[in-house]
Structure 1
Amino acid sequence: MIAAVRTGQSRVLVVHGEPGVGKSALLAYAERAATGVQGLRAVGVESEVELAFATLHQLCAPLLDRLGDLPAPQRDALETVFGTRAGPPPERFLVGLAVLSLLSAASEKSPLLCVVDDAQWMDRASAQVLGFVARRLLAESVALVFGTRQRPRDLLGLPELEVTGLSDADAYALLDSVTHALLDRHVRERFVSEAQGNPLALLELPRGLTVTQMAGGFGLLHDETLPGRIEQSFLARIEGLPEETRLLLLIAAAEPTGDPALVWGAAERLGIVPATALASGTDGLAEFDARVVFRHPLVRSAVYGAARPKDRRAVHLALAEVTDPQADPDRRAWHLASAVTMPDEIVATELERSAERARARGGLATAAAFLQRSVALTADAGRRAERALGGADAALWAGDLDAARELADIADRDAQAEFQRVRAHLVRSHVTFASGFNNEAPPMLLAAARRLEPFDPGLARETYLVAWGSASFGAANRDSLVAISRAMRDLPVPAGAPSTLDLVIRGYALLITDGRAAALPTLREALAALTDLPLRDVLKWGWAACGLTGLLWEDRIMPEVPARAVEEVRAAGALSELPIYLHAWGIPVVLTGDFATAEAIVAQADAATAATGVPMTQHTRLLLTAMRGRQSEAVPLIAATTEEASASGQLNGVASAQRAAALLYNGLADHERAFSAAQANFQSANVLSSQWALPELVEAAARVGDVAAALAALDELTDAAEPCDTDWAQGILTRCRALLSDDDTADALYREAIERLGRTLLRPELARAHLLYGEWLRRSGRRVEARTHLRTAYEAFTSIGMEAFAERARRELLATGETVRKRRNETAVSEELTAQERQIALLVRDGLSNPEVGARLFISPRTVEWHLRKIFVKLGISSRRQLPDALPRGESDAAPG
């Protein structure tokens, strides 16, 4: 591992095994062996497991002078979580990207070895960030090594090494080195068998036994587990120490930083004289020097666990008294909390303040833990309910749904006011919604919104919109959506000019209760207001408004709204919101036929989804793959998406897969399958996307001869498109009408469709209009005219990369008697590049720097450079300046933001 890092590669290793098996010894060996390599070290401490970013701060502290080299959002994120600046809490994914960049920058000077021992005691925020970093190291000359008893969930899946103990021969050698009595062969075998190769056990089990006990093997007659036996050995040694020494060890065990000044200060408050306490030593259990270090983590836990509760409380109180309230207020508050058993408002208030500081640093799980303890120390029921609500909110945003539900239940039980009970219900509703799209969340959110109205009308309206979104995108039945829409329609009209939220709510409500024509004026006002939506609203409910442009058939605005949201969300570091906005942006980009940019967006969405763990149906990839018409790629993707979305109750994902299938099979001229998929799509699609199934259904039904189904679909499409006087809406509607018209009117309708779609950005739809018109002309015996439109369609499909439709147009051209050779998509990115290389090449081609590319794809700048070297070789170029020539833009190619 160290050799690889010296050659410019990165390595990650999780070293795990039982206590005492030698993990720390191996990590210490690695540090000694890594000559010429920079070293960073951190140790997880059980008592700090609730302090956000504590382990990360230990590890990164030597590099903080390099923060100025990071991009501003990343620098701000680290400064905020480390408490050196005030600001909004950054998302942990942005913090992870910042740490990745920091380690990458530090490794440019010399290779870097980062060691985290006792990783099972890392705080959750640090574990999440370091797990994020570990999965993205590639070409940074960084080794990241964890030593742990159990693998934390955030480190699962990383390369690992299980330490299983010594061989029998080595075990005998080690045992002989620490025993002075001549042991019977059977007793030696018993010792080695009991120790199971654990070096610490071999060192500790013989300790304290008399020669007789050892020689006869009587000292081994215990039934505890091996770690318990080792700890019992430590306990026996602890009990043999003077009381003052034991108390000094307890202070050291309760003070996680190993700071002698704090230990001596607390000892003085408890009347302990260090010289006296250490006069006879500590029997090798701990060293008191520049740092206080225990021989093994089991010693710390044994000392702390064996102490009397009153002694532990006294030690924590003394440590709180000597901890600087300005420099380290949170650790002081935690010591105070451990020093009391009865309700204590002063300590509860300190914990509440610590929770606010943790929240400001982005340590939401830590904030929830502080508030949970604060709740336990609060006597007043009203205050207890308020603190429980704060903790429930923090736990919800931290993703700890069980803790959120438990704290909400406490708040509901202790609430002294209706508003507190309503907020508790709101948290439970969001917990249900966060558990996945389901039938339970919409009615719960609706009830919460209604109860909120008298207390917080703004929050109530946001909740109504979230309820509507959960009902329209999830598995809720239509009755639930209608009930929510009626409630939104009946909301009182606010004084003054309506806000964007008011307009979206009113428009969506009218769409369901009164129909599209009645909703259109309000929806148009809402869309105009959406172009300047504040970031807070983007994060709170903006996702629910993403469907407005599609409802209004506004092709020119459709990419603009989510593209701006992507930039705002990314700049704010709200990366968990990023996948949904990237997909909202990717869909209209695909519809314009700009496949290269769409593919870059898909790559960014995949990277964001992998980084954040936020599950998302791959809507953009589905549409892109179906439009390309590569059956071998599209069919497995459609099947997998259908299975996954069905299992999780995400009907929107099922509908997206069905729509992709209908589009794919229409392109392949397999209209029977297209008809089946389009019918299923229209029946299952939500109100925001049902209209997209209709053009596919009309075409497929017309081609299979099911006129009744085609006319029924056309009626639905007319209701959806006719009120919207845009070229997109009218062009699609006219094209579909032409499919079902007689010869006297079809010609004029096809020409009108081509004219209208020619004024949109939707190159694929225009090409399809030419194709259908050309097919109709050929069947009408007008071959010369047919060739013109079929040739136009074929060239457009080929340049876009719509292979199935291009082949369909080519076959039609052949049927007219024209000779046509298959052409390769001229704007296609080189097939030599991998998917990630292709995205990096496109982003660099469009002028992004290595740090900017890394931020979008969640990799380090050095990894970007590593990929670029491979890209240059594959494309036969030598610099990034040559990329525009090697990867020319398509007609509508635009830089993916």
Structure 2
Amino acid sequence: MLRGRARERAVLTALIDAARSGRSGVLVLLGEAGVGKTALLTEAVAKVPNLRVDGVEAERELPFAALHQLCAPLLDHLDKLPEPQRDALRTTFGLRDGAAPEPFFVGLAVLSLLSEAAAGTPLVCVIDDAQWLDHASAQTLAFVARRLLAESIVMIFAVRTPAPDTVHNLRSLPELRVEGLRDPDARELLASVVRWPLDERVREAILAEARGNPLALLELPGGRAGGFAVPDVKSRVEESFVHRADDLPADSRLLLLLAAADPVGDSALLWRAAAELGVGRTAADQPEVAGLLQIGVRVVFRHPLVRSAVYRSASAADRRRVHAALAVATDPRADPDRRAWHHAQATEGTDEEVAAELEASAGRAQARGGLAAAAAFRQRAAELTDDSVRRADRDLAAARATYLAGSLDEASALLNRALAGPHDELRAARIDLLRAQMAFASPSRSQEAPALLLEAARRFAPLDVTRSRDTYLEAFSGAVLVGRFAGSAGLAAVAAAAREAPRPLTGPRAADLLLDGLALLFTDGFGAGAPLVRRALADLRRGDVAAEEAIHLIYVVSHAAHAVWDDEVWQALTHRHLRLARGAGALAGMSYLLYQRLALHLHQGELAQAAALVDEVQVVSAATGNVQPDVAALAVAGWQGREAEVARLTPLVTAAVTARHEGAVLTVVHLSNAVLLNGLGRFDEALAAAGRATAYPLETGFANWALVELAEAAVRAGDREAAERALERIAARAEPSGTDWGLGAEARARALLTGSEDLYREAIDRLARCRGAFSLARAHLVYGEWLRRQDREADARTHLRTAHDMFVSFGADAFADRSRRELGATGETVRTRTAKAETRLTPQERQIARRARDGQTNAEIGAELFLSSRTVEWHLRKIFTKLGIANRRELRNAL
């Protein structure tokens, strides 16, 4: 019976009861060592099916070690998973060879596996001492926890406080802090273990020292607890374990150290290693050993603090002895990575053979997606290397792996070590490139990235032509994103440098054409560069590029497509790249692609679909731990005409984007405000917002859209000079591109300025032939407004009614109201439209409903939206109820 834990037990019981009713739950238990988290978990899961993982500090460098421990009992369910997910888990767990699956694709596979295991009965997953999880497992389990909903799964993490930075993935999950016992409960617990007379002053000292910590109350009475100081309880409890171990015979102490050094928990392995040290089974016969360690089928310490106390108190020489014995005892075929790690821990000084073993382990770890483990292996390999050239190369490899694992500061230190090695020009160029990529990945330093990437590209030029040209393209990506914050290394400087890039050694790739086209675009103008950019995009659209390269080019390709007003290529490439990214689970690239698809939906007047993607952007952001400014929600609110939401989000997003030095995103903020204000008819304010969006002359892409907003706002506000300047910039970009979207946008702006009816009609004709339904509706609106001012009410009503109906169908309330007011001015009364049934669905429900309507299975829908099949089914039941239908077949009519 646990004392004083009614609140905590009630929370855990409610979670498990909810799972029995078909609802999943997640909880993070936070508390200091010994406060009773493990006891609470043990009691909570005693009567329900459960899987248990114990995080171990020594395992933190082994990729997916904890995840394998959790999933091993469930591998019989693998065959029920979709093939890509099944293969991802088999590769991750070393059951098959293959390319490294993306971490979040592994997460989706684990979610599906747990869901299958919980199909018949609720399942509780307990992850104790989660602060010691290896990085890959922690990332995956946190992803799974965020996606649980209707699977009858409970996931409980126990984290020791103060929590290290390694558990940042868990910080957005529901938490319950486990505090020390209240004084009456603490006294009752102490009395239950101290059955002999105890001096009252000593009793009070123990209570004060323990501060309600149950393990301390159990351990301190047998130690030296009578002093006046109040030391750290964890240290004192560990000290009590150390004292108990110190009193053991040498063989028994060595046995404890062996168990502490290897967390596998395999008793056969333990006894093999013990035999290597000449330690017999009688070493476990001491009563005190039994109080600290249980050796059965598995080796289990009484408490995690026993393991850390025994290992930390041992001498360095003894640690090396036990690691050497464990390396010999570990099967090199079944577990080569753990064997290599033990070898490394057993080595004093340098050893090339062991370093080579670690390099091989790093390769295997990276192939399974264990980036943090690969980084640790490579770092230790470098430390064991005597040859200075090879050590510098290994330091650089370790730095790159560490950067990919997300530890920028540690990667910088390793880069400095690599730089201190013997000079090698190719290594120096690779160091420059990695420094630039690390700057780009750091929001506080992203404005430095373009200049650093240019320097790396120049260094590669005489050494590796392809790498040099690809680095110039990365510099374009950096300069486009940073925009107005780039300083002297902006788009003009990148373009000028790229003009001097070495020529391809063989026939130009699509990436080479794109580089040359962008270089011309930003030096000689759109007339020179747009045709080459469009040719490169056409090559990319034909699919002549490997999937990996296509994903790598996502940012610059998507930007280039709508920079040259080519919405057909923009749609085709973003659709294909998003499918590739989803298929590979490449969430890092997926964030940007989702923004591009969202913008494409706005362009096409599909505002409900755009709103649905806001949720998916947030899901990806939470899954990757890369919290993004809420620009997606701001953009959708601007197009929908929700003034209060735009007013709320604009200062928040502006501050965040400015701090991150993302000029291109700041342009979207100003553009969204300009669209809203033009819809509301507040043209002076719209002119100011559009002016801010177009203030950086070399910006393209969304800045092109802002020029169109600027032209309309300037005409309506009576600023003819500003309108003429905007029109000149639109024409310079649209005419060389030669697309209906670009030429239609130019015709609309020119018609507004000149009042030419032919141009109004041309704008409508051209925009009707492209994907820009929102721009088409606005062309009908401004033409109708012009016709009304010409006293041609009947003609005006035709176009205003078309615009109004389109805006209502889009859900663009501000523009719908503007067109309704204009219709009223012609004498026509506009009926209020009732909302579509579909608008009663949440954004996520709309995404699921559309995919189900289009024939996708629950598993396919789940794979795209990172949900389990059971959660998709749960959502579909809600969708059918809201729409008043009975099955999938009726979705087509209901939507």
TM-score by length of 1: 0.93
> What aligned pairs does 1:312-323 form with structure 2 within 5 A after superposition?
312-323=319-330
Q: 1:775 to 1:114 in 2, by over 3 A?
A: same
Superposed CA deviations along residues 528-553 of structure 1, whole A, max 9, x for unmatched, are 11111321212323321212222322
- For 2:144, give the aligned amino acid: V
- Kindly indicate whether the alpha-carbon contact (under 8 Å) linking 1:603 and 1:857 is maintained by their aligned counterparts in 2: no
Are 1:11 and 2:25 matched, yes or no? yes
- For 2:381, give the aligned amino acid: S
Q: Which of 3, 15, 20 is residue 34 of structure 2 equivalent to?
A: 20
Deviation at 1:220, TM superposition (A): 4.3
- For 2:79, give the aligned amino acid: G
- Kindly indicate whether the alpha-carbon contact (under 8 Å) linking 2:750 and 2:759 is maintained by their aligned counterparts in 1: yes
> What aligned pairs does 1:37-76 form with structure 2 within 5 A after superposition?
37-76=48-87
> What aligned pairs does 1:519-598 form with structure 2 within 5 A after superposition?
519-531=529-541, 532=543, 533-598=545-610
Q: Secondary structure at the match of 1:559?
A: helix
Q: What is the CA RMSD across the aligned residues, in angstroms?
A: 2.1
Q: 1:202 to 1:624 in 2, by over 3 A?
A: closer
Match of 1:309 in 2: 316
Superposed CA deviations along residues 195-243 of structure 1, whole A, max 9, x for unmatched, are 222222222222267xxxxxxxx84466532222222222221121111
- Kindly indicate whether the alpha-carbon contact (under 8 Å) linking 1:372 and 1:388 is maintained by their aligned counterparts in 2: yes
Q: 1:658 to 1:829 in 2, by over 3 A?
A: farther
Q: Which of 115, 129, 135 is residue 104 of structure 1 equivalent to?
A: 115
Match of 1:212 in 2: none
Q: Which of 389, 393, 399 is residue 396 of structure 2 equivalent to?
A: 389
Q: Secondary structure at the match of 1:873?
A: helix
CA distance in 2, matches of 1:558, 1:310: 63
CA distance in 2, matches of 1:51, 1:81: 12
Match of 1:86 in 2: 97
Match of 2:272 in 1: 265
Match of 1:712 in 2: 725
Q: Which of 183, 204, 207 is residue 219 of structure 2 equivalent to?
A: 204
CA distance in 2, matches of 1:578, 1:824: 36
Deviation at 1:521, TM superposition (A): 2.5
- Kindly indicate whether the alpha-carbon contact (under 8 Å) linking 1:659 and 1:692 is maintained by their aligned counterparts in 2: yes
Deviation at 1:386, TM superposition (A): 1.3
Q: Secondary structure at the match of 2:45?
A: helix
Q: 1:379 to 1:530 in 2, by over 3 A?
A: same
- For 1:240, give the aligned amino acid: D
Q: Secondary structure at the match of 2:737?
A: coil
Deviation at 1:435, TM superposition (A): 0.5
Match of 1:859 in 2: 867
- Kindly indicate whether the alpha-carbon contact (under 8 Å) linking 1:408 and 1:425 is maintained by their aligned counterparts in 2: no
Match of 2:176 in 1: 161
- Kindly indicate whether the alpha-carbon contact (under 8 Å) linking 1:600 and 1:842 is maintained by their aligned counterparts in 2: no
Match of 2:141 in 1: 130
Deviation at 1:829, TM superposition (A): 5.0
Match of 1:893 in 2: none
CA distance in 2, matches of 1:15, 1:520: 57
Are 1:833 and 2:866 matched, yes or no? no
Superposed CA deviations along residues 583-619 of structure 1, whole A, max 9, x for unmatched, are 2223223212233433343433332222223354566
Deviation at 1:408, TM superposition (A): 1.4
Deviation at 1:246, TM superposition (A): 1.1
CA distance in 1, matches of 2:562, 2:302: 65
CA distance in 1, matches of 2:767, 2:216: 79
Superposed CA deviations along residues 248-290 of structure 1, whole A, max 9, x for unmatched, are 2111111211212122111211122222563666262222222
- For 1:231, give the aligned amino acid: E
Q: Which of 301-310 and 462-471 deviates more?
A: 301-310
Q: Which of 813-822 and 373-382 deviates more?
A: 813-822
- For 2:356, give the aligned amino acid: T
Match of 1:494 in 2: 504
CA distance in 2, matches of 1:539, 1:758: 31
- Kindly indicate whether the alpha-carbon contact (under 8 Å) linking 2:169 and 2:625 is maintained by their aligned counterparts in 1: no
Q: Which of 180, 183, 187 is residue 172 of structure 1 equivalent to?
A: 187
- Kindly indicate whether the alpha-carbon contact (under 8 Å) linking 1:829 and 1:838 is maintained by their aligned counterparts in 2: no
Q: 1:23 to 1:791 in 2, by over 3 A?
A: closer
CA distance in 2, matches of 1:224, 1:619: 49
Q: Secondary structure at the match of 1:546?
A: helix
- For 1:235, give the aligned amino acid: V
Q: Which of 90-99 and 543-552 deviates more?
A: 543-552
Superposed CA deviations along residues 426-475 of structure 1, whole A, max 9, x for unmatched, are 11111111102633111111001110122221111111111111112212
Unaligned runs of 5+ in 1: 210-217, 888-897
> What aligned pairs does 1:275-674 form with structure 2 within 5 A after superposition?
275=282, 278=285, 282=289, 284-436=291-443, 438-474=446-482, 475-477=485-487, 480-531=490-541, 532=543, 533-616=545-628, 621-674=633-686
Match of 2:700 in 1: 687
Q: Which of 232, 236, 243 is residue 239 of structure 2 equivalent to?
A: 232
- Kindly indicate whether the alpha-carbon contact (under 8 Å) linking 1:472 and 1:688 is maintained by their aligned counterparts in 2: no
- Kindly indicate whether the alpha-carbon contact (under 8 Å) linking 1:409 and 1:424 is maintained by their aligned counterparts in 2: no
Q: Which of 336-345 and 810-819 deviates more?
A: 810-819
Percent identity, aligned pairs only, is 49
- Kindly indicate whether the alpha-carbon contact (under 8 Å) linking 1:617 and 1:653 is maintained by their aligned counterparts in 2: no
Superposed CA deviations along residues 610-662 of structure 1, whole A, max 9, x for unmatched, are 22233545665444332322323333334432232122211111110111111
CA distance in 1, matches of 2:173, 2:810: 40
- Kindly indicate whether the alpha-carbon contact (under 8 Å) linking 2:608 and 2:810 is maintained by their aligned counterparts in 1: no
Deviation at 1:863, TM superposition (A): 1.6
- Kindly indicate whether the alpha-carbon contact (under 8 Å) linking 2:85 and 2:108 is maintained by their aligned counterparts in 1: yes
CA distance in 1, matches of 2:587, 2:145: 18
Q: 1:419 to 1:190 in 2, by over 3 A?
A: same
CA distance in 2, matches of 1:785, 1:203: 89
TM-score by length of 2: 0.94
CA distance in 1, matches of 2:264, 2:627: 38
Aligned residues: 871
- For 1:483, give the aligned amino acid: A
Unaligned runs of 5+ in 2: 1-14
CA distance in 1, matches of 2:213, 2:645: 52
- For 1:25, give the aligned amino acid: A
- For 1:249, give the aligned amino acid: L
- For 1:758, give the aligned amino acid: A
Q: 1:657 to 1:280 in 2, by over 3 A?
A: closer
Q: Secondary structure at the match of 1:740?
A: helix
Are 1:701 and 2:701 matched, yes or no? no
Match of 2:43 in 1: 29
Q: 1:722 to 1:189 in 2, by over 3 A?
A: same
- Kindly indicate whether the alpha-carbon contact (under 8 Å) linking 1:191 and 1:220 is maintained by their aligned counterparts in 2: no
Q: 1:672 to 1:829 in 2, by over 3 A?
A: farther
Q: Which of 111-120 and 595-604 deviates more?
A: 595-604
Match of 1:759 in 2: 769
CA distance in 2, matches of 1:793, 1:199: 71
Are 1:870 and 2:870 matched, yes or no? no
Q: Which of 574-583 and 688-697 deviates more?
A: 688-697
CA distance in 2, matches of 1:187, 1:19: 23
Q: Which of 455-464 and 789-798 deviates more?
A: 789-798
Deviation at 1:112, TM superposition (A): 0.3
CA distance in 2, matches of 1:535, 1:552: 23
Match of 2:207 in 1: 192
- Kindly indicate whether the alpha-carbon contact (under 8 Å) linking 2:118 and 2:152 is maintained by their aligned counterparts in 1: yes
- Kindly indicate whether the alpha-carbon contact (under 8 Å) linking 1:52 and 1:126 is maintained by their aligned counterparts in 2: yes
Q: Secondary structure at the match of 2:50?
A: strand
